[in-house]
Amino acid sequence: MKSIATWKPSKYVPAKRGWTASRNIAEVARSDRFIADIQCRVYERLIRKHARGRLLDLGCGKVPLYGIYRDHVSDCICVDWPDTPHPSPHVDIEADLNGPLPFEDGIFNTILITDVLEHIAQPDMLWREMARTLAPGGSIILTTPFLHCIHEAPHDYARYTEFSLRRFCEENGIEIVELEAYGGSPEVLLDLIAKHLGFSRILSAIHLAIAKTTIGLRPFRKISAKTAAAFPLGYALVATKGLRLFSAITCS
């Protein structure tokens, strides 16, 4: 990663217990704080459990997750679009994520791609490239929203179900280690309300405090668990590539 010495937390910041979404409106809009807190917990758990070796951070932006994964990996390469809405001095390579990636086969132990897939116009190509550049035994850590508003228009192309994520993995010979929905109908409804209260600092703060308390209550946790399959806020996926696929790619 370029300019590591100048990196500082942006979208996510360290807190008393792990990491959380920034309360700086320049980094996280008031309307996004509720869902960003939830996503941050998902990212942190997956990264601490699965990230290792040489990591490729795809669609990295300001590299907001570097503070979480830096102690778990040996090296990181940061890639983003040339015209990204999140310009950063830490980007190593500018590349169109809809096309071939400028890397050799099997050189990354971890590929991190968080909330990027929905912005890819040619997802089949990207999945082939991730499978190609992933080392045998390496892991893809991917998250993507589902019941979520249009964002970063006009480059918001799709929402993916767990079934489409499974298909992407199967077609590219990648074995799923974890695939689960995060959030259910309570989180979806609370996020929807947050999106409509973003105009007001006071109302947003009140809503966030109530929402965080509400989803921590046992009845709401039960409802969330029961409704996650039908009304997911988003998905978290970890998948790995076995030796058989790597041999097939290198011998073709």
Dump pLDDT digits (tens) for 39-63.
Answer: 999 999 999 999 999 999 999 999 9
**Fold for the domain defined by 4-184+232-251:** Rossmann fold (3.40.50)
Would you place residue 84 in the very low, low, confident or very high pLDDT band (cuts 50, 70, 90)?
Answer: confident
Alpha-carbon gap, residue 130 to 235, rounded angstroms = 18
Could you state, in order of their start, the residue ranges of all structural domains in the chain? Answer: 4-184+232-251
Dump pLDDT digits (tens) for 115-145.
Answer: 999 999 999 999 999 999 999 999 999 999 9
Q: Which two tokens stand for residue 105?
A: 């086969």
Q: Which two tokens stand for residue 71?
A: 């102690």
pTM over 0.85: yes
Dump pLDDT digits (tens) for 171-222.
Answer: 999 999 999 999 999 999 999 999 999 999 999 999 999 999 999 999 999 9
Would you place residue 243 in the very low, low, confident or very high pLDDT band (cuts 50, 70, 90)?
Answer: low
Q: What is the DSSP letter of 99?
A: S
Q: What is the mean pLDDT of the chain?
A: 94
Q: Residue 252 pLDDT more than 70?
A: no
CB 32 within 8 A of CB 80: no
What interhelical angle do 185-197 and 201-215 show, nearest 10? 170
Q: What is the pLDDT at residue 249? A: 44
Q: What is the mean pLDDT of residues 69-87?
A: 92
Alpha-carbon gap, residue 221 to 207, rounded angstroms = 18
CB 104 within 8 A of CB 218: no
Q: Which two tokens stand for residue 9?
A: 């937390």
User: Using a CB cutoff of 8 Å and minimum separation of 24, what contacts does 214-221 make?
Assistant: 214/186, 214/190, 215/186, 215/187, 215/190, 220/186
What DSSP letter does each residue of 175-243 carry, written as one string? EEEEEEEE--HHHHHHHHHHHHHTT-HHHHHHHHHHHHHHHTSHHHHHHHHHHTTTS-SEEEEEEEE-H
Q: Residue 244 pLDDT more than 80?
A: no
